[in-house]
Structure 1
Amino acid sequence: MGERSSQEPPEMCDIDINIAVNGEASQSSDYKKYVANRAIDGSNEINLYNDSCAHTLHDLEPWWRLDLKESYSIGTIVISGRSDCCLERLSGAQIRIGNSPDNNNPVCSTITNVSVPTTTYCCNGMEGQYISVVIPRRYEYLTLCEVKVHKDPSIKLCW
């Protein structure tokens, strides 16, 4: 759908509530203590070693999934990778939204810009209870330091 890169989410996103923090996260595997729920802890910390990131093992098609507990119309998703290294690992990851608990829901966007740690993706009202980040067709580590989800806003944040 679309992406906008920035060091921080736009100020207007602060008007909208991050509904991800009330969800429950899971992932394909856990690398050491870096469990899935760390990516929805509400922290803006993007250095892995400050203990606020989710990280998988070196999996084939690693995934991270958020269960929002009910279906929402999604406006934007803000993905923060780690700032201390390895942003290129997120290249090609798909952000999926839908009502199926598997990782085959429709694609909102594909991560192509790995030059900055935080990027906002516009999902333009896609409906779903589940949000997944999946790296298809390769072995990779998946690290997400924060995932913020905003309902489809009455004000347009995407351009």
Structure 2
Amino acid sequence: MRGRVAICILVCVTVLRIQETTGTDGNPALNKPTSASSMLGFASSTAVDGKNDTHWGSQSCFSVDFSDPDHWWQVDLQYQVLVTEIKVSSRSDCCPERLHDFSVDVYDTDPTLNPLSPAKQCYFYSGSVTSPGVTVTVTCTRPVSGRYLRLTGKNRINDVDVLQFCEVQVFGATETHSTSCSTLTQQRGKRFSSVLVHDLQSHVNDPAACASVCERDIRCTGFNFKLTEGTCQLVRDTEIGPTVADASWNCYQYEPCWVPCPA
């Protein structure tokens, strides 16, 4: 327990307590992978291409197919993001009213691969956009955390009523271990042997600096630090695997914060 307290204090003192916005102008959805229940004309990625041209002829607008009974569009933010607000732009040359009655939900895992992944609702937009080329700002009822953001069309009126818009912008903060409050536990003379261990590209010459880099990346589940060379290796996006004995290394693993870090 004393070792856990010590490393917790080390991390909390040496790491700046910030939430880092991502993407241009704080839009983590920009140019990220997208998917949809169907597509009509242009790819689902046009909705996050950064072009706010709302004319269909610009080839920068998205629509599901007319024959699609289940209307949704989704973006993989690729990181855990605390979503606070989104902006959705309607089409300007026709049919702005097609942007109506839609739900904005956030998921931790991809709901297309895991249908049981629970949806965390940011907001349900009730009503219809009546003016062409309008950008609707939707503020979450409460900030919601997740990696996948989905817009789902509700209350379809007729066969030509489809989920259709030209640009989606997401605003929020990338979550870090600071915001989720975890602690690092140390094992001396051991290292993680996971295949997902990666050497850092930049030189990090002490455990505190290595912890700082790891804490700022919510994907980082732990790290190895080689004492003789100052080598820092991060473990990302995986359950920490078994350790191997190696006197020249120490390893550190994130766990739930049993001991609250000092403010």
State the TM-score bracket (shorter-chain normalisation): 0.7 to 0.9
Confirm or deny: 8 A CA contact 2:31 2:45 kept in the other structure.
Answer: no
Per the TM alignment, residue 60 of structure 1 is displaced from its structure 2 partner at its CA by: 0.8
- Percent identity for Structure 1 against Structure 2: 30
Post-superposition offset of 1:100? 3.3
Q: Distance in 2 between matches of 1:70 and 1:137?
A: 31
Bigger mean CA deviation after superposition, 50-59 or 109-118: 109-118
The equivalences for 1:34-53 within 5 A come to 34-53=42-61
Secondary structure of the structure 1 residue equivalent to 2:47: helix
CA RMSD, 1 decimal: 2.2
Q: Counterpart in 2 of 1:96?
A: 105
CA distance in 2, matches of 1:86, 1:56: 14
Secondary structure of the residue that 2:93 maps to in structure 1? coil
SS at match of 2:139: strand
Q: Which of 23, 29, 33 is matched with 2:32 structurally?
A: 23
**Greater RCO (CA < 8 Å, at least 6 residues apart):** 1
Q: Secondary structure at the match of 1:60?
A: coil
The number of residue pairs the alignment matches comes to 138
Query: Helix, strand or coil: the match of 2:137?
Result: strand
Q: Does residue 136 of structure 2 align to residue 115 of structure 1?
A: no
Separation (CA, whole Å) in 2 of partners of 1:119 and 1:102: 25
Distance in 2 (alpha carbons) for counterparts of 1:73 and 1:48: 31
Show CA shifts across 1:16-74 (max 9, x none). Answer: 41111142111111112x11000000011111111111111011121100011121101
1:135 paired to 2:153: yes
**3-state SS of the aligned residue for 1:19?**
coil
Deviation at 1:132, TM superposition (A): 0.7
Aligned structure 1 segments of 4 or more residues deviating by more than 4 angstroms: none
Q: For 2:79, what is the secondary structure of its paired residue?
A: strand
TM-score (norm 1): 0.77
Larger Rg belongs to: 2
CA distance in 1 between partners of 2:84 and 2:173 (Å): 4
Residues 83 and 119 of structure 1: CA distance in aligned 2, closer, same or farther (over 3 Å): same
**SS of match in other structure, 1:88:** helix
For normalisation by structure 2, the TM-score amounts to 0.48
Write the mapping of 1:73-92 to structure 2, written as runs, cut at 5 A: 73-92=82-101
1:49 is paired with a residue of what secondary structure? helix
Unaligned runs of 5+ in 2: 1-23, 113-117, 175-263
1:65-121, Cα deviation, whole Å (9 max, x unpaired) = 001112110121111121112122221111111213227612212223513421111
Following the alignment from structure 1 to structure 2, what is the Cα–Cα distance between the partners of residues 65 and 132? Answer: 4
2:29 partner SS: helix
Cα 1:31/1:22, change in 2 over 3 Å: closer
